[in-house]
Structure 1
Amino acid sequence: MKVNTSRNILHMLGSRECISGETMATHLGLSRVAVWKQIQQLRERGYVIESSSRGYRLIKLPEEPRAEQFPPSFPFKVEYREETGSTMEDARKAEERIATIFLAGKQSSGRGRKNRRWQSPEGGLYASVLFFPGSEYGAAFFSPMKLAASVVNVLRKTYHIPARISWPNDIVVGERKIAGIITELHGKYDLVDRQIIGIGINLQPVPGVPRSGALQEFVDRKKKLPSSADLARGIFFEFHSRMNRWSPQQTIAAWKAASATIGRRVRIEKSWGTALTGRAKDIGSDGSLLIESDEGYVESVREGDCIMLSEQ
């Protein structure tokens, strides 16, 4: 199945209005038989498409995200697998220098920060974004912040879920973590050649994971739980719109506006075994978290685990 052709057909059917096969054939430079074959293949892939004497009408999309659901103008290549070991590993193994979003319905070896296992059962959204920024390392730290702000904006505006960002880039509702974001940088000298940002979102509860949450628990009961396909399109359209347009200052402002960390007492557990306890005061101009320690000095932190503490 040709992805570009199916993308164009879905784009035409996106209005949910009835469109004749002849109109699609003329617009796409295909025969009506070729259009019919493409429609049949889309149906086999889970699309519900109604046909009548007036033409074709799109009724329902599959629950899972598919490459052809993204419009022809979308600048990322999209690859979807029903199951994979890890979308991060898929991105690492990519040979083409093409900006790509790797999506999966299920992961058998998903990993979070510090290589911890991220349980990834069927029913979640698991993705990794591979791109080639060619920027300095400092600038690359803003990309996961933009993705976190994009996730929060989509959850709030589209699904009315009061999501916030917990440093460094976890997504929480109240004290419950519903999504995690990690980033990986590859390069030499002072430039980032390849950047991979991974994200996992729990749509449904994951048993046995303390303090984890899921969208199913917070979505309005009168509304349907979003599919991973709807969620992926909303988030990555939003992320793309922010990638090259938002300055560091705009990114920091959006992140702070959605922060669940600023103003809270926290303990930062650093990767080399030390810890810092104090109050999260602000985000620095380089995207770091500024902590006013219990000893009274301010320290800039770029990485680590953030644990929220109760007020003394």
Structure 2
Amino acid sequence: MRNEIINLLKKENKLSEEALNEIKDLEINDFSNTIKELGKQKTDYIKESEISKDLNTNFMGKDIYIYKEVSSTNTVAKFLSQHDVKNGAVVISEKQTDAKGRSGKAWASPLGGVWLSVILHPEVDHSKLPMITLAAGVAVAKALEKIGVENPEIKWPNDIMINGKKVCGILTEAVAKFNTIENIILGIGIDANLEVTDFPEELQEGTTTLKEYFGKEIDENLLIKILLEELEEISHLFNENEYERILKEWRKRSYTIGKIVEVRKPFNAYYDAYVIGIGKEGALVVEKIDGTLEKVISGECIIKN
């Protein structure tokens, strides 16, 4: 994280070459106000004024930092989460140069997408992290429905699909100290006003964009505003321990339940299974070929034709 923050300062001409030679003697935390100030500068098409206009939330998105380009909004959000930002603060970038998805996979983030991270201060333990990801998936799907997408589906655990192709990914990360979660960073990337050809060739077949779906560009600022409202609404259910209501909304939009999948667990353990449903803790419930049931808490599920 330290190097990425330094690179951001350097790119924005906030750190000279001479200062780089002395940076080892400085605390990177000394630059927190500068990083915040950079998030308030003029940007090209993502506008705080447009997002905040008529934003109907109590805490979500009341503090917004928007950048033209960062390596990763999650990285900047992690840094800011340690420097007195409000619960529900949002970090947005018009472009990311080194974003990551689950398991450290590269996440393509060219100009035209919605790339944001939300900083949350929930009082939860690690066992609830999967539920936060599922809740975020519901919020994204409902936001897409409100702008006119028919039947967006959620692929366990963190992808949003349109017509069988990925349009959004979610990455939930915890900032912990002494095994205590201090902050949650909720990263969301939506392929909005992009052409599929904007992505690396190996990703194009399974990817779609909102521009492709609608046949025209959408209003990214409006989408972000609606998304923040949906995130706050689902956060109320989460904070009130209404997990079954969240799971009910998730199941209604599931792309995974009822399909044959290849389960890829950590340490290269692969097997085929039929997806029966999702458990109350957010784990996927599958039936293996030998008839035994298993809960999949972490890993990846590849839908098989």
User: TM exceeds 0.5?
Assistant: yes
Question: Between Structure 1 and Structure 2, whose CA radius of gyration is higher?
Answer: 1
How far apart are the structure 1 equivalents of 2:49 and 2:237?
A: 24
Are 1:281 and 2:276 an aligned pair?
A: yes
Equivalence for 1:90 = 76
Q: Which one-letter code corresponds to 1:89 in the other structure?
A: T
Is the CA contact (8 Å cut-off) linking 1:91 and 1:128 kept in structure 2? yes
Are 1:176 and 2:165 an aligned pair?
A: yes
Equivalence for 2:18 = none
Equivalence for 1:272 = 267
Equivalence for 2:231 = 239
Cα deviation 1:106-137 (Å, max 9, x = unaligned):
01111111111111100000011111112122
Equivalence for 2:8 = none
Which is helix-richer, 1 or 2? Answer: 2
Cα deviation 1:132-152 (Å, max 9, x = unaligned):
112122223222211111111
Equivalence for 1:50 = none
Residues 135-144 or 85-94, more deviating: 135-144
Equivalence for 1:66 = 48
How far apart are the structure 2 equivalents of 1:67 and 1:145?
A: 29
Secondary structure in 2 matching 1:262: coil
Is the CA contact (8 Å cut-off) linking 2:50 and 2:222 kept in structure 1? no
How far apart are the structure 2 equivalents of 1:280 and 1:309?
A: 11
Q: Which one-letter code corresponds to 1:96 in the other structure?
A: H
Equivalence for 1:17 = none
Q: Which one-letter code corresponds to 1:69 in the other structure?
A: I
For residue 230 of structure 1, the aligned residue among 222, 228, 233 is 222
Are 1:80 and 2:49 an aligned pair?
A: no
Equivalence for 1:111 = 100
Structure 1: gaps spanning 5 or more residues:
1-43, 47-61
Is the CA contact (8 Å cut-off) linking 2:57 and 2:229 kept in structure 1? no
Cα offset, 1:167, TM superposition? 0.7
TM-score after normalising by structure 1: 0.74
Cα 1:101–1:45, aligned 2, differ >3 Å: closer, same or farther? closer
How far apart are the structure 2 equivalents of 1:162 and 1:253?
A: 15
For residue 131 of structure 1, the aligned residue among 120, 124, 140 is 120
Are 1:260 and 2:278 an aligned pair?
A: no
Cα offset, 1:68, TM superposition? 6.6
Cα 1:217–1:251, aligned 2, differ >3 Å: closer, same or farther? same
Cα offset, 1:259, TM superposition? 0.4
Q: Which one-letter code corresponds to 1:143 in the other structure?
A: I
Equivalence for 2:175 = 186
Is the CA contact (8 Å cut-off) linking 1:127 and 1:199 kept in structure 2? yes
Structure number with higher relative contact order (C-alpha < 8 Å, ≥ 6 residues apart):
2
Cα offset, 1:104, TM superposition? 0.7
How far apart are the structure 2 equivalents of 1:278 and 1:237?
A: 36
Cα deviation 1:253-280 (Å, max 9, x = unaligned):
1111000000000011112211131111
Secondary structure in 2 matching 1:286: coil
TM-score after normalising by structure 2: 0.76
